[in-house]
Structure 1
Amino acid sequence: MLSDPNENWKEEEYTLPAAPREAALREFSVSATTPHRFYVDEDSLSVGEDGVVRFVLVVRSAGGATNVTFEGIRCVTGERRLYASGRANGEWSPARNSAWEPIVDNSYDRPRAALAYDYLCDGPAPPRNRAAALKLLKTSQPGFRHLHEGIVR
């Protein structure tokens, strides 16, 4: 975890987004070896005044199971937060443990690490706004920033 340069940082209020729409799902690459497919719901992608990038993550297994979560990433500290899990009926169930945690490059956090380090964050800097976040999500190439900046996961 990176140190927080703003010891007085306070997370702003957020609202749970609408259930993801299939047409708004943007696939991103996590690993060539994983059988799962990963998507960010573009409709839900936001960058708060608090610097938190919030989004709906959709994970589809090779067997057809789908997992939907509403999450946040703090680029400045390298942390993630799970806000809620999606239900099949489109409603949200608040996460039992919703604390900020370091992003660790393990099998569970790999999509979050990819989003933070390959797609959305420029080192410790979050995207300027939603438009910049969408552009990064659409144009970034996985692994490129790590190789370019010498960051090792």
Structure 2
Amino acid sequence: MNNRHSNPFARAWLRLAAPVALLLAAHTAFAQANFEEDFDDENKTWEEIAIQLPAPPKEEDLIEFYVGPTTTQTFAIDAKSLAIGRDGVIRYTLIATSPAGAKNISYEGIRCATFEKKLYAFGRSDGSWGRSRRDQWEGIVRGNVNRQHAALAQDYFCSNLTIVGTEKDMLQRLRSKRTLTDSLLRE
């Protein structure tokens, strides 16, 4: 009679191989679960963080930036307010000044990943903030008129829907009047 388990070595090997096979299967399943979990992070719904409105801007902290040849206003951001949130939104205080000297102050955000902007609040003359009634994300217009958001996004903050650098890098580009394109050409 030919019994394939009558060999003592075969029986010992089977006793050792079975637990090893179980451990390998468990390890493979665990690794696959972690692998899929890493990809699940990319599919998570984006969630905006709660914001805290900054202190009112001070004249000495303002950095003017160029918007284009057709604008009649000058634009600046408050260097102390510029921040990149954990949610990937670049937030800042924007100051628009008319030729007559009237100032409009707003706290805004730019999301490079979607090339959108959001208005959070308006600055009041007493230094307080009034929340915007339209605090929804809107696409950034690249036209010639009202292109201050496009100038910030394209020239100083974003490239290919990605945030470029840190707050310090962005402030350096703004202070030196070197756009992202200028920076690439000089490298």
* Shared fold (TM-score, shorter chain, > 0.5): yes
- Whole-Å separation in 1 of the counterparts to 2:94 and 2:62: 9
Bigger helix fraction: 2
Structure 2 residue aligned with 1:151: none
Contact 1:47 1:128 (8 Å CA) reproduced: no
Contact 1:121 1:127 in 2 (8 A): yes
Compare CA radii of gyration and give the structure with the larger one.
2
Report whether the alignment pairs 1:53 with 2:119: no
Q: Which structure shows the higher strand fraction? A: 1
CA contact (8 A) 2:89 2:112 kept: yes
1:30 lines up with 2:67 in the alignment: yes
Which residue of the partner structure matches residue 78 of structure 1?
Answer: 115
Distance 1:6 1:133, change over 3 A: farther
Task: Give the alignment's Cα RMSD to 1 decimal.
Answer: 2.1
Secondary structure of residue in 1 paired with 2:159:
coil
What aligned pairs does 1:70-109 form with structure 2 within 5 A after superposition?
70-106=107-143, 107-108=145-146
In structure 2, the residue matched to 1:134 is 171
CA distance in 2 between counterparts of 1:85 and 1:16 reads: 10
Larger mean Cα displacement after TM superposition, 49-58 or 28-37: 28-37
| Partner AA of 1:141 in structure 2 | R
Task: Note the C-alpha offset of 1:6.
Answer: 5.2
* Paired residue secondary structure (1:43): helix
Aligned to 1:14: 51
> Percent same amino acid at aligned positions?
40
Stretches of 4+ moved more than 6 A in 1? none
Partner amino acid for 1:26? I
Which letter does structure 2 place at the counterpart of 1:52? Answer: V
Unmatched segments (≥5 aa) in structure 1: 149-153
Q: 1:31 and 1:143, CA in 2 relative to 1: closer, same or farther beyond 3 A?
A: farther
Cα separation, 2, equivalents of 1:143 and 1:34: 21
Show CA shifts across 1:109-135 (max 9, x none).
x00010001111122111443223322
Deviations 1:49-68 (A, max 9, x none): 11100000000000111100
Q: Secondary structure at the match of 1:98?
A: coil
Structure 2 Cα separation of the partners of residues 6 and 17 of structure 1: 32
SS of residue matched to 2:63: strand
Residues 1:16 and 1:6: Cα distance change in structure 2 (over 3 Å): farther
- Between 1 and 2, higher relative CO (CA 8 Å, sep ≥ 6) is seen in 1
For residues 110 and 67 of structure 2, what CA distance do their matches in structure 1 show?
16
The letter of the residue matching 1:87 is R
With the length of structure 2 as denominator, give the TM-score of the two structures: 0.69
